[in-house]
């Protein structure tokens, strides 16, 4: 008796939601999985977010999956789980669409892994360049290349070379 009242209440709530304009706003009725989504919501296995969004492409967590499995097991234990041929066909359709979705995710995740490898390789090159630059800076600091690092004798030779170069340029 209580079970029948509970089932009647669930059905009544579903009808009230349908009459109140609540619907699945992000799964169009033209989608092949629409009836499966609607039935899983109407049966209480899944729910809508904010009374209207199903988020069909959102990943499901292990916790959410456990809740769905628990609901199925409870209905099966109470002999309330009757699956029609239509529902089996819809389940097959959902499984196929889930396989397609997971295949796309696998492809995008492999692209992500490839890109991470590229970035890691680029980072190694940058680290190598930074290390070499740091070594060169230390060498310059140590060897004193720059202002005041040329010895007086070397300055004289450079000056003489510049003067001779200018004389040759002017004489030419």
Residues 72-96 pLDDT 10s:
888 777 766 677 788 888 888 888 8
pTM of the entire predicted model: 0.36
Question: What residue segments make up the domains of the chain, in order of their start?
Answer: 2-82
Instruction: Give the 3-state secondary structure of residue 55.
Output: coil
For residue 15, the model assigns a pLDDT of: 45
Distance, in Å, from the CA atom of 161 to the CA atom of 171, rounded to the nearest integer, reads: 15
For residue 12, the model assigns a pLDDT of: 45
Tokens found for residue 62: 């292990």
Cβ neighbours of residue 61 under 8 Å, at least 6 residues apart? none
The answer to whether 18 and 52 are in contact (CB under 8 A) is no
For residue 52, the model assigns a pLDDT of: 83
Percent of the chain, pLDDT > 90?
Answer: 0
125, exposed or middle or buried, with CB in 10 Å at 0-12, 13-18, 19+? exposed
Cα–Cα distances (Å) from 133 to 85, 130, 137, 145, in that order, read 71, 5, 6, 15
pLDDT tens-digit readout, 12-53 = 455 444 444 457 888 888 888 888 888 888 888 888 888 888
């Amino acid at each position: 008796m209580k079970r029948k009242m509970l089932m009647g209440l669930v059905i009544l709530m579903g009808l009230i939601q349908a009459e109140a304009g609540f619907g699945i706003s992000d799964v169009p009725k033209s989608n092949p999985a629409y009836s499966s989504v609607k039935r899983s919501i109407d049966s209480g296995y899944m729910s809508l977010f904010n009374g209207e969004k199903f988020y069909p492409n959102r990943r499901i967590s292990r916790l959410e999956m456990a809740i769905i499995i628990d609901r199925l097991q409870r209905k099966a234990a109470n002999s309330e789980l009757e699956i029609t041929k239509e529902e089996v066909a819809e389940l097959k359709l959902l499984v196929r669409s889930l396989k397609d979705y997971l295949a796309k995710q696998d492809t995008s995740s492999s692209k992500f892994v490839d890109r991470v490898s590229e970035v890691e390789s680029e980072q190694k090159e940058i680290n190598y360049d930074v290390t070499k630059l740091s070594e060169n800076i230390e060498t310059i600091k140590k060897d004193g290349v720059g202002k005041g690092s040329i010895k007086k004798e070397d300055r004289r030779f450079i000056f003489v070379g510049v003067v001779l170069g200018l004389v040759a340029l002017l004489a030419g």
